[in-house]
Structure 1
Amino acid sequence: MGTLETLPGKRDQLVEILTRHSTDLEEAGCLLYEVGVSEESPDTVFVAEVWTSAQAHHESLQLDSVQAAIREARPLLSGQMGGFRFDVVGSPLRS
């Protein structure tokens, strides 16, 4: 789970970039990539990601499509980012 702070008024532009359909991410091992917003934080984008492994996530950052999205998004960002990483150990939704 992470947060990306945008420059004032740039949140929706960042959301548009982050929510573009991408088969590359799935092929790289992304199981979940959800983007959210909250009116309580009008310049924050929330991202929840689940990957098959930390290595798969790391390698995805080298994909041409991901690098292009990063280049496009960078000017919209304030530089403030937050988040945390954890290893999934189970779920009541799966056996």
Structure 2
Amino acid sequence: MIATYGFTATLTAKPSAGDRLIDLLLTGLNAGSPGASEHCLVYLVSRSASDPDVVHVTEGWTSEEDHHRIFAGEAARAIVARIDPLLAKEPEYTDFVPVGGKAGPVKP
């Protein structure tokens, strides 16, 4: 499969909630969760080097439609509902069209 849609999200956690936010975002890779979908080809959670409460998520999907369909499901809505109380402000999103590169395993 090829990723034809993607985005990055920057999430700012409430003070000292960055670790909890990261742990919760990584549950998105569990079986039945959005990141485990065959349509999610890239799911990378990163922390800002300068602020431990700023978290970046990069996702690559087979299509924008697949992304929206998966995120309309119960599992995605449950994760989002648990994320919201940890945030200090609204997430910032940047969408993109993947043109090449590499996605591989990173340490859990």
TM-score, normalised to structure 1, is 0.84
Inter-partner Cα distance in structure 2 for 1:23 and 1:60 = 13
- Structure 1 unaligned blocks of 5 or more: none
Question: Which of 10, 17, 29 in structure 2 is aligned with 1:10?
Answer: 17
For structure 1, which segment, 56-65 or 4-13, has the greater mean C-alpha deviation from structure 2 after superposition? 56-65
What is the Cα deviation at residue 27 of structure 1? Answer: 2.8
Indicate the structure (1 or 2) with the bigger Cα radius of gyration: 1
Inter-partner Cα distance in structure 2 for 1:44 and 1:27 = 25
Tell me which amino acid in the other structure corresponds to 1:23.
A
Q: Does 1:29 align with 2:36?
A: no
- Structure 2 unaligned blocks of 5 or more: 1-7, 103-108
> Which residue pairs with 1:84 in the alignment?
94
Tell me the percent identity: 30
What is the Cα deviation at residue 2 of structure 1? Answer: 1.7
Instruction: Give the conservation status (yes or no) of the 8 Å contact 1:37–1:46.
Output: yes
Higher strand share: 1
TM-score, normalised to structure 2, is 0.75
Moved over 4 A (4+): none
Aligned residues: 92
1:75 aligned counterpart, secondary structure: helix
Tell me how large the CA RMSD over aligned residues is. Answer: 1.7
1:16 aligned counterpart, secondary structure: helix
Instruction: Give the conservation status (yes or no) of the 8 Å contact 1:6–1:76.
Output: yes
